[in-house]
Structure 1
Amino acid sequence: MPSVRRLSHEFLERQGLTTFFGNPGSNELPFLADLPDGFRYVLGLHEGAVLGMADGYAQATGRPVLVNLHAASGSGNAMGALTNAVASRTPLVIVAGQQVRSAVGPEANLANVDAPALMKPLVGWAAEPACAQDVPRALAQAVFEARLQRRPTYLSVPYDDWDAEAGANSLPVLDRRVQRASVPGAEQGRLLAEQVASARRPALVLGGDIDTAGLFDDAVRLAERLGGPVWAAPSLFRLPFPNRHPLFRGVLPAGIAPVSRALEGHDLVLVLGAPVFRYHEHLPGPYLPEGTRLIQVTDDASAAARAPMGEALVADPGAVIDLLMKMLDSPSTPVGAYRTAPEPPTAEGSRLHPEEVFAALRDEMPEDTAYVVESTSTNAAWWRQMDLRRPGSYYFPAAGGLGFGLPGAVGVAMAQPDRPVVGVIGDGSANYGITALWTAAQHRIPVTFVLLRNGTYGALRWFGGLLGVPDAPGLDIPGLDFTRIAEGYGVPARHVSGAGELRAALAERPDHPRLLQVDTELTTPS
């Protein structure tokens, strides 16, 4: 009879979870013993970076990824990054080591007392098996729950379980498959199509789930069939629609009142693949303009249940798009040509305006480049200059938790080695995931990090004005030289001092990671 470890490894191999991201401790070593050929363990130097890399990797592949953390301390270190994975509905399977079973009750060192409770309510499912023979089944549940819910799961396993005999009843787990289908019924589909077709001025709001599900091009076809304006949902973490498309109106603001103002004049708002809505700034007002009806279509039952207004249909947005395409007539007028970006403003002195940086990225990088962005104070400048027309072109920390950008870019680049990947990182956020540079260097990942250095927490300065707190301490971060930090981790780096030099550097195509530090003028998110 195989051991729990061997059976679990075989199950993971059959499920395609052969790339692990982790930072091990003593409790995890027995799980990692005798890994089969073909398994790859990607070491990160801090658990926040580990989880951020796994988040980017899972989003880019669209498949569950296993994360290996160390008991309570390692799990705690990863929780900030976990908030982003929860908000982006990333299917991470987190397996953490636990003390031997006899040592948990006496609270021996490295025992995680009530381990599942530590990660709740963030994860979609958390458990610690009641006995060693239940580990393979519980591991399978963690994988299937992550896949079905599209949300991280957490399994704590006492380390003496891995050497135990699995037992005959554990063997059937190897052949298990769990699938999900969510197509609206005939009457639901007919009613929805009638509501959309009868609207005088419909508007479409698309969420990051559209890109996650591979529906980017389908959303374009639906929008052009409807012929009405398209917004991206607030607090955008993936781009669901080409941002220079003539129907695109931008990302909805993350406040109640400004969202309502943006949607004025529309009798129907169809929301696909997004919560309704993920607000940020507290700007109260009516949820919707008078006379506006909202219909949300999402496969996230929790998002449908908690929405404060509108109707909801829990269904696969892709199936709904297919249904509407079959039932709606084409518009009488063509949509027109894609918009061009404006000429970027220039900064005074030696600094560059962020729009100059983004114009250089747009012009010099290949059209299929994937961008992992964590420079929140330059958000408005980003959307004014970039021209993103491909699926999977944009990743952003979904919950706003800093530390995603650097490791997320590493994970995306590992998942898509044949696609150019650029991490656009602010100097404030870079420090939260800086150790990911070491992993990029060790694996020789050809990712470009563009480090925007303005010497301050720019987004916080903007929020200080919004909240009437202009004199808050701790907002400046002078004296950071990321070229020296990057080189210390093994990543070649240079300080770029002008637009011409930046464009020349971006035109190069090295086969290794690199960091380009650019001093930029302070801007605001909007």
Structure 2
Amino acid sequence: MVLGHPTRVQGTVQPDTQTLQALINRIRQAKRPVILAGHELARHDCFKEAGEFATRIGAAVYQESVPYNSRFPTEHPANMGEITRNQHKVLETLSQHDLMICLGGDLLRMSPKADVEPLPVGMPVIHISERDWELGKNYPTEMAIQANVASTLRAMLPMLDTMLDDSERTAAKARIDELKPTNWQSRRASLVESLAQHANSAPAQADYAVLQVVEALTPDTIVVDENPTYSAMLFKLMHANSPSSYYGLTSGGLGFGMAGAIGASLAHPGRPVVATIGDGSSLYSIQAIWTAAHLKLPVTYVILNNQSYQIIKDRLIAMRGSNQFVGMDMSDPEIDFLSVAKGFGLNAVRVEKASDIQAAVREAIASGKPSLVDIAIEPSVK
């Protein structure tokens, strides 16, 4: 039997010159444009081009609401962080702008239900994506362009250089400078300073614990995150300047992280992988750690252990106004993650003090062996 050869369909599509000119002319009309950076930027490895585009047009950049992966370099001065999935906050943010450009992302996937729409009434939208089903799906879109985002950006940049005049370049630079006091880097610096007060907590204060895990990462570390309660803080603290820095919980369904870390390690041989996992999330596929041990992968599982389904508690309070927690605690008996990990063949350590977190994670990464670090976290709600 002859199996034949695989066929790869080349789907890279670039808009024609007329469309690109119309696109640029529409952007030139905006006085305060904003970019929603999506996961296709990482998929097609065009962070550099996306950064140059934001600088050229003087646009603030927010990362799309669902954390598929790294979506825009954190160190870029236009990076304002996550757009969030809070409709009220998104509406407030977008109301400061007069044009939204969605680059290779989902257009405002929100959760949970709210009494307002996140897109301001009348806000014009440009959406560039290779996924035709996302274009014009939920919101009116003035320009919907089905195209490869990397090819589109690479074609636009030299055209922008030609079409923008000196006054437009000056205005764009002024807008970028205006963002610097409140951009991701500035807010991170303030946040790190404020978290220092928790350096000696035991068990660790959650946000400080996340900071210590982040500080232990090496520049080539890949983070796979399934940590619903503390992911927002991870986004505020973690440097992610390469398309393969981070992979996250795309669908909202729990259980991918333990096995997903193995997939990331196999896809990037030799690079260290740190999986930040909630104690509840880890139990959906805890057996995956045997595969990490079997394949001797450089994966470090960091369990942020608050002995509860904290995200469910938080949402019960927010959505129902109730603190009657039924079946949401995992403290009687407490789960012994060290015994579980060692039983599956991993090196494992328990960290009780905030001051010990960074060293423990750093040592696990440096070992190059499959490991687990169980960090005791003070729950925000008991």
SS at match of 1:518: strand
User: Which of the pair has the greater relative contact order for Cα pairs under 8 Å at 6+ separation?
Assistant: 2
In structure 2, the partner of 1:206 is 37
The answer to whether the aligner puts 1:235 opposite 2:92 as a matched pair is no
Partner of 1:371: 223
Residue 188 of structure 1 deviates from its aligned partner by 1.3
1:435 to 287, 292, 306: 287
Match of 2:238 among 355, 371, 386: 386
**Contact 2:272 2:368 (8 Å CA) reproduced:** no
Indicate the residue corresponding to 2:50 in structure 1.
Answer: 219
2:229 aligns to what SS in structure 1? Answer: helix
Match of 1:250 in 2: 81
Q: Deviations over 1:408-464 (max 9, x none)?
A: 111101211232210001001000111110000000001111111001111111111
For residues 176 and 475 of structure 1, the distance between their equivalents in structure 2, rounded to whole angstroms, comes to 49
Alignment partner of 2:356 out of 469, 490, 501: 501
Instruction: Classify 1:206/1:523 alpha carbon distance in 2 versus 1 (closer, same or farther; 3 Å).
Output: farther
Residue 464 in structure 1 maps to residue 316 in structure 2: yes
Query: Alpha-carbon deviation of 1:349?
Result: 5.3
**CA shift for structure 1 position 320:** 1.9
Matched, 1:490 2:342: no
Change (3 A) 1:234 1:257: same
Deviation at 1:260, TM superposition (A): 2.0
RMSD over equivalenced CA pairs, Å: 2.2
Match of 1:514 among 368, 371, 382: 371
Measured after TM superposition, the shift of residue 405 of structure 1 is: 1.0
- Contact kept? 1:450, 1:516, Cα under 8 Å: yes
Distance 2:215 2:200 in 1: 22
Structure 2 CA distance for aligned equivalents of residues 175 and 293 of structure 1 = 42
Given that 2:70 and 2:242 are in contact with CA atoms closer than 8 Å, whether structure 1 keeps it comes out as no
Residue 148 of structure 2 corresponds to residue 316 of structure 1: yes
- AA matched with 1:389: N
Using the TM superposition, give the Cα deviation of residue 347 of structure 1 relative to its aligned residue in structure 2, in angstroms. Answer: 7.5
Q: Choose which of 248, 271, 277 in structure 2 pairs with 1:425.
A: 277
TM-score by length of 2: 0.86
| Equivalence map 1:67-466=2 (5 Å) | 173-174=4-5, 176-311=7-142, 312-328=144-160, 329=164, 330=169, 331-333=172-174, 335=177, 338-339=185-186, 340-341=188-189, 342-343=192-193, 344=195, 345-346=197-198, 350-466=202-318
- What secondary structure is seen at the aligned counterpart in 2 of 1:203? strand
Decide whether the 8 Å contact of 1:275 with 1:307 is kept in 2.
Answer: no
SS at match of 2:367: coil
How has the CA–CA distance of structure 1 residues 516 and 286 changed in structure 2, closer, same or farther, with 3 Å as cutoff? Answer: closer
Deviations 1:327-369 (A, max 9, x none): 2245445656943532225178521122222222332221221
Q: After TM superposition, give the deviation of residue 256 of structure 1 in Å.
A: 3.7
- 1:265–1:437 CA distance, 2 compared to 1 (3 A): same
Query: Does the 8 Å CA contact 2:224/2:260 hold for their aligned counterparts?
Result: yes
Deviation at 1:246, TM superposition (A): 2.8
How far apart are residue 315 of structure 1 and its match?
A: 0.9
C-alpha separation in 2, matches of 1:332 and 1:467: 42
Deviation of residue 291 (structure 1)? 4.4
Letter in 1 for 2:274: V
Contact 2:203 2:354 in 1 (8 A): no
Aligned to 2:251, the other structure's residue is in SS state coil
Cα-to-partner distance string for 1:95-128 (whole Å, 9 max, x where unaligned): xxxxxxxxxxxxxxxxxxxxxxxxxxxxxxxxxx
Task: Provide closer, same or farther for how the CA distance between residues 255 and 357 of structure 1 changes in structure 2, counting only shifts above 3 A.
Answer: closer
Give the structure with higher Rg (CA): 1
Is 1:477 equivalent to 2:333 in the alignment?
Answer: no
The share of aligned pairs that are identical, in percent, is: 28
CA distance, structure 1, for counterparts of residue 338 and residue 219 of structure 2: 27
SS at match of 1:449: strand
Q: 1:483 to 1:303 in 2, by over 3 A?
A: same
Superposition deviation, residue 178 in structure 1: 2.6
Distance 2:19 2:338 in 1: 57
Can you list the C-alpha shifts for 1:37-59, whole angstroms capped at 9, x where unaligned? xxxxxxxxxxxxxxxxxxxxxxx
Give how far 1:244 is off.
4.6
**Do the aligned partners of residues 259 and 368 (structure 1) sit closer, same or farther apart at CA in structure 2, a change above 3 Å counting?**
same
Task: Report the CA distance between 1:174 and its aligned residue.
Answer: 2.4
2: CA distance between counterparts of 1:196 and 1:398? 30
How many Å separate the matches in 2 of 1:371 and 1:389?
12
Secondary structure of 2:312's match? helix
